[in-house]
Amino acid sequence: MANGEARNRLVGEMAKIGIRPVIDGRRGGIRESLEAVTMEMAQGVAKLLSAKLRHSNGLPVECVVADTCIGGVAEAAQAAAKFERAGVGVSITVTPSWCYPLETIDAHRAMPKAIWGFNGTERPGAVYLAAANSAHNQKGLPVFSVYGRDVQDMGDSSIPADVEEQLLRFAKAGLAVATMRGKSYLSLGSVSMGIAGCIADETFFQRYLGMRNEYVDMTEFVRRMNLGIYDPEEYERALAWTKTNCKEGRDVNPPELQRTAEQKAVDWETVVKMTLIARDLMIGNPKLAELGYGEEALGRNAIAAGFQGQRMWTDYFPNGDFMEAMLTSSFDWNGIREPYVLSTENDTLNAVTMLMGHLLTDAAQIFADVRTYWSPDAVKRVTGHTLEGAAQHGLIHLTNSGPAALDGTGLQRKDGAPAMKPFWDIAEAEASACLAATEWCPAVDFFRGGGFSTDYQTAGGMPVTMARLNLVDGLGPVLQLAEGYTAELPQDVHDVLDARTNETWPTTWFVPRLTGSGVFRDVYSVMHAWGSNHCALSYGHVGAELITLAAMLRIPVNMHNVDEARIFRPSAWKAFGTADLEGADFRACEKYGPLY
């Protein structure tokens, strides 16, 4: 299984990062003495970001440095014009000295922007940073303030570790904002079983994310299957690969409801075709033009999508579990590649949460139902087992009515521990291990059209962040998140608890990191405060990264367990209060309103 080539599969150039070296514009010795050190500072930031960041598709991140140092409004305009021509989507200003704030700041209203003011005393960039923050805040232009903890000497070209962390966090979140802008969310079907998150709120997508909404009825799958509107060569290859690598699991349905071997064979053919068709609907496929379907070849430029499935589709056709699991995984019959974002039941809000997590971590995301809180007493009563270690205070059973990305098995490795990695870091053996650990069980009785559910258990000890975006009337979008770890139970204990929900679905046992206060005082409170029946799970403790991205989009965070020292929001947020950061976040987001 070869590692896939990095490529941009969506329409539009990848956003670049613009670096703005600003300078004291006074000639006659002052500017001249600062030209070299200021430009060196800009080049150093560009080198750092280019070396340590990639786009989620694996392509390198490009930085564009202004042609000259910016000492006044004319040079600021020249830099802005260059950035527009070059496709810059994120702006970082750097300076080691005092400059004239109103003449040199970035005035673009929608572009994420940050300023690194060098912490030195000879010609203090920190003084400019403070004045420029004030100017941005007074003009309603939120800016992230990057300020090193320790004083450096003028001419020191190193980037301190704390500054590097802030620059990387800001840049990655800013690139996520720029990457979403102008792309589509594709609804494949409509609302599933009355789940409100399936409603595609166009105002939210357009005003907060800068995205458009596209809609395709599920009958388009039938049309394309019946007319053969898919690559026939890829279909044969995909079907053969599936038969070799996707082992069929146990059928738990009563005998009278079990499908015959012939029916299951047809189901496999159908779900493989569905996978090809969903991908083609999202991003297009030039092969379709060769078959005479030029319109279909174009796709919908969808960076994320969702499949309604239940019940109109699944009452008659095989469910979408295989399609959703394989597309959201980092590998398939074409090798190892960037995962797609495709949500179960067309939950648009969970799709956005998955998209945010993917753009920040570059890795696959787990779509899950937030099913059950198992207290230690309940586990003891049902199984006789006493929870220990990380799970001693109870667990949250994350599962899904069928699919989840196969990366979620946790059988990729980072420093020897379970992980979900960017596709370019995944070894063939790791992808094969994820496949081998997954069974495809014939769908249970309420999937009347058949299909196959994704059955696996996530390895324990993996750091993860559980997140969910919700829409609340009168408030708008809010994000909630919980950092924690996956847990493993003895197999016999797992089997008893799992069978009480559905033993053919994937399971991730999640333990949030408790803080002793608020909703994180215990595991029950985390479960009880969750705002939906769904969540997305990202690898790593990326709550701080999600908080930074949410602030850029003006989405408040109503629940998190991130240490206060890791929170990085625009400078203006402090003006809305420093004692109650959650309240200040709400007030700032309400005041500034959606980004677009």
CB count in 10 Å sphere of residue 551: 26
Closest CA to 6 of 60, 61, 86: 60
CB count in 10 Å sphere of residue 247: 11
Separation of alpha carbons 569 and 398, rounded Å: 30
pLDDT digits (tens, 9 = 90+) for 135-188: 999 999 999 999 999 988 888 889 999 999 999 999 999 999 999 999 999 999
Q: Any catalytic annotation for residue 369?
A: yes
Which DSSP symbol is given to 437?
Answer: T
Buried-exposed string 25-40: b where 16+ CB fall within 10 A, e elsewhere: beeeeebeebeebbbe
What was the pLDDT predicted at 2?
66
Query: Rg (Cα) of the chain, in Å, rounded?
Result: 25
Residue 490 tokens read as 């003895």
pLDDT digits (tens, 9 = 90+) for 54-90: 999 999 999 999 999 999 999 999 999 999 999 999 9
Q: Which residue has the higher pLDDT, 153 or 382?
A: 382
**Fold entry, domain 184-592:** L-fucose Isomerase; Chain A, domain 3 (3.20.14)
What was the pLDDT predicted at 1?
63
Separation of alpha carbons 142 and 133, rounded Å: 8
Query: Which residue ranges are tagged as binding site?
Result: 345, 369, 534
188: exposed, middle or buried (C-beta count within 10 Å: 0-12, 13-18, 19+)?
buried
Residue ranges per structural domain of the chain: 7-180, 184-592
User: Quick check: pTM over 0.75?
Assistant: yes
What was the pLDDT predicted at 402?
73
Kindly report the three-state secondary structure assignment for every residue of 269-321: HHHHHHHHHHHHHHHCCHHHHHCCCCCHHHCCCEEEEEECCCCCCCCCCCCCH
What was the pLDDT predicted at 170?
98
pLDDT score of 42 more than 80 = yes
pLDDT digits (tens, 9 = 90+) for 290-335: 999 999 999 999 999 999 999 999 999 999 999 999 999 999 999 9
Backbone angles phi, psi at 192, to 5 degrees: -95, 120
3-state secondary structure of 18: strand
**Fold entry, domain 7-180:** Rossmann fold (3.40.50)
Kind of pairing, strands 557-559 and 476-487?
A: parallel
Please list the alpha-helical segments (H only) found in 53-190: 73-86, 101-104, 125-139, 161-180
Backbone angles phi, psi at 246, to 5 degrees: -110, 100
Q: What is the dihedral of CA 291, 293, 298, 304, to 10 degrees?
A: -90
Q: Any catalytic annotation for residue 345?
A: yes
| Catalytic position from the list 369, 455, 545, 585 | 369
Q: Could you tell me if 303 and 355 are in contact, meaning their C-beta atoms sit under 8 angstroms apart? A: yes
pLDDT score of 121 more than 80 = no
| Catalytic position from the list 24, 62, 345, 488 | 345
Query: Which residue ranges are tagged as binding site for Mn(2+)?
Result: 345, 369, 534
Q: How confident is the model at residue 441 (pLDDT cuts 50, 70, 90)?
A: very high
